[in-house]
Amino acid sequence: MIDVSEYRIPAGTKVVLADHDADDKTGFEGGKKKGKKALSRLNKQIAELQRRLWAESRQGLLVVIQAIDTGGKDSTIRKVFTGVNPQGVRVASFGVPSEIELSHDYLWRVHKETPPDGYIKIFNRSHYEDVLVVRVKRLAPEETWSRRYQHIREFERMLADEGTTVLKLFLNISKDEQRQRLQDRLNEPDKHWKFNKADLADRELWDHYQRAFEDALSETSTDYAPWYVVPANRKWYRNLVVSSILIETMEKMDPQYPKPEEGLDDVVVT
């Protein structure tokens, strides 16, 4: 398993994404072919840990995944959680807020999606959109979005105090890799449905998004809800890193199967 400590952002760290190599693969001795075989083994470990978490039903795991457009959120979820029991894993996505969601505080729609005991809940985008998109597209003034860092830290502290482990992953790709992935969508007809002309307008805001991500990571990576900056240009290595982080996190949670009912050794089914 990859040593993921170098990808974790210690609390209080000022993040500069240019210092994080999106092409990095130094944590694994081997290429794409070996990486895929290794991922299969990690999938089995994740599946076993998830079974124990589900059976124990005393704690939950929230996995927050953020990335710029084409960063690979969907494919990461598919590849990393292959083989887990879908009964105990849920994915929530957060798009443009509805009218009723806008009539509440911005965390209202998020809180109701957090995992019950025994579950893994994956946020494909999350409450962080309210300090990312809202900031870059000027949907709220700075005095509004800037105070949300404290709200988010306190929200995640409350979740942690109440038994939910919070794990946050930023999938870090380069600007050139994004260009290639957008072009690939245009070059392959069966991927045209994934292309939106609005993505090109967002690409023009690359530097603004990078600064917004840097501030979000710097302001909200804590001991109880850490951020990891995952090198994501190489999809196979991204999957290994995310799987390794997930396994390390769940092993620290140490879920256990419940103790069996007494006297089962003498039971015979007839």
For 27-45, what is the mean pLDDT?
Answer: 93
Over 90: is that where the pLDDT of 182 sits?
A: yes
- The predicted pLDDT at position 161 comes to 97
- The predicted pLDDT at position 123 comes to 98
Instruction: Give kind and range of the element (H or E) at residue 33.
Output: helix 32-56
Inter-CA distances, 64 with 121, 126, 166, Å: 8, 7, 8
As a whole number of angstroms, the distance between CA 221 and CA 245 comes to 15
As a whole number of angstroms, the distance between CA 257 and CA 57 comes to 9
- The predicted pLDDT at position 195 comes to 87
Contacts of 237 (CB under 8 A, 6+ apart): 24, 25, 27, 28, 35, 231
Q: What percent of the chain has pLDDT over 70?
A: 100
The confidence band for 196, taking pLDDT boundaries of 50, 70 and 90, is: confident
- The predicted pLDDT at position 259 comes to 86
Show the DSSP H helices in 122-267 as ranges: 133-136, 142-145, 148-161, 175-187, 198-203, 206-220, 235-253
The confidence band for 267, taking pLDDT boundaries of 50, 70 and 90, is: confident
How many CB atoms sit inside 10 A of residue 200's CB?
Answer: 11
> Does 229 or 199 have the greater pLDDT score?
229
For 226-251, what is the mean pLDDT?
Answer: 98
* DSSP 8-state class, residue 124: E
Q: For residue range 159-181, what is the model confidence (pLDDT) as tens digits?
A: 999 999 999 999 999 999 999 99
As a whole number of angstroms, the distance between CA 105 and CA 14 comes to 28
Inter-CA distances, 107 with 94, 119, 165, 225, Å: 11, 20, 18, 17
Instruction: Give kind and range of the element (H or E) at residue 73.
Output: helix 73-80
Inter-CA distances, 114 with 54, 102, 151, 196, 253, Å: 15, 19, 16, 30, 17
Lowest mean pLDDT among 105-119, 194-208, 225-239, 240-254: 194-208
- The predicted pLDDT at position 209 comes to 97
| Token pair recorded at residue 166 | 């919070």
Over 80: is that where the pLDDT of 263 sits?
A: no
Q: For residue range 47-60, what is the model confidence (pLDDT) as tens digits?
A: 999 999 999 999 99
- For residue 154, how far is the Cα from the chain centroid? 19
For 88-116, what is the mean pLDDT?
Answer: 95
Across the chain, mean pLDDT equals: 95
The confidence band for 95, taking pLDDT boundaries of 50, 70 and 90, is: confident
As a whole number of angstroms, the distance between CA 168 and CA 222 comes to 10
For 63-79, what is the mean pLDDT?
Answer: 96
- The CATH fold assigned to 5-254 is Rossmann fold (3.40.50)
Over 90: is that where the pLDDT of 250 sits?
A: yes
